[in-house]
């Protein structure tokens, strides 16, 4: 019987991972950057320019977004450490997306390297 780690390992064997050293260039070339973490994780901080689609609803949101229907889009996915992103990327490949990659090490590696992090600003009521 397979466990979660087995599934992630299989996905990572089939999905190109972008090394952190090449991440900024890959993000510039991407058509879309998707954060597949949960909403609270995204709101606590995310890679600038990322759109949020939790892994649990990713396929449904993509299916309902005509702007993301082209199967030749360059898509980069990330999560906290890269497991969920690899699984999500496999799912997008199964949907017919041709150019899907995940960020090695995920958001944790990105932020630990001192790369820019965006956070929504809470409104002020002065």
Active site residues: 79
**Measured between alpha carbons, how far is residue 51 from residues 7, 10, 48 in Å?**
25, 26, 9
Q: Which of 92, 97, 104 is nearest to 53 (CA)?
A: 92
Q: Which helix (H) or strand (E) holds 94?
A: helix 83-94
Cα separation, 85 vs 67, whole angstroms: 21
Q: How many CB atoms lie within 10 A of CB 122?
A: 7
């Amino acid at each position: 019987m397979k466990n979660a780690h087995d599934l992630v390992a299989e996905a990572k064997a089939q999905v190109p991972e972008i090394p952190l050293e090449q991440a900024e260039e890959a993000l510039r070339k991407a058509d879309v950057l998707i954060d597949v973490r949960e909403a609270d994780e995204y709101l606590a901080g995310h890679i600038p320019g990322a759109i949020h689609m939790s892994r649990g609803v990713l396929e449904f949101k993509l299916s309902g977004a005509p702007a993301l229907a082209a199967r030749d889009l360059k898509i980069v996915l990330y999560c906290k450490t890269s497991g969920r992103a690899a699984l999500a990327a496999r799912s997008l490949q199964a949907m017919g997306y041709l150019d899907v990659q995940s960020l090695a090490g995920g958001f944790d590696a990105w932020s630990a390297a001192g790369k820019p992090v965006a956070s929504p600003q809470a409104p002020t009521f002065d």
